[in-house]
Amino acid sequence: MNFKDYRDFTGSSPEKFFKSSLFRSENLLLGLNCLEPGQSQPEHGHTSQDKFYFVLEGQGEFSVGEESRTLGPGLAAWAPAGLPHGVRNEGDQRLVILVGIAPAPG
């Protein structure tokens, strides 16, 4: 199945932001992070993986290293390996982010 609609992979979880995978190989994981209002992904880093965020819906406060910025639909963030990054949804609607991690974790 080589074609997918991201809207089929959104969701929510009360305890923690929601993650799903669209496609995955050793080289790349492409998925979604969905954060309800008030949810966050704490700052963390990946030792040997580069990551991008691309906002699809809502808006969030993104931090990458020393920089932080509020991003809405069409804006992207890049976190090279080792650089701490995170995101908080301080808005009033669901934040949906397309996320790519290369190589895939795990």
Query: Which residue ranges make up the site for a copy of itself (CB under 8 A)?
Result: 2-7, 22-23, 25, 27-28, 30, 49-50, 52, 54, 56, 62, 64-65, 67, 69, 71, 74-81, 83, 98, 100, 102-103
- Cα→Cα distances 71→61, 68, 89, 98, 103, Å: 6, 9, 10, 13, 25
Three-state SS for 21?
strand
Smallest gap from Cβ 12 to a copy of itself, in A, equals 18
Task: Select 15 or 47, whichever has its Cβ closest to a copy of itself.
Answer: 47
Smallest gap from Cβ 93 to a copy of itself, in A, equals 16
- Tell me how far apart the alpha carbons of residues 69 and 3 are, in angstroms, rounded to a whole number: 32
DSSP letter (8 states) at residue 1: -
Smallest gap from Cβ 69 to a copy of itself, in A, equals 5
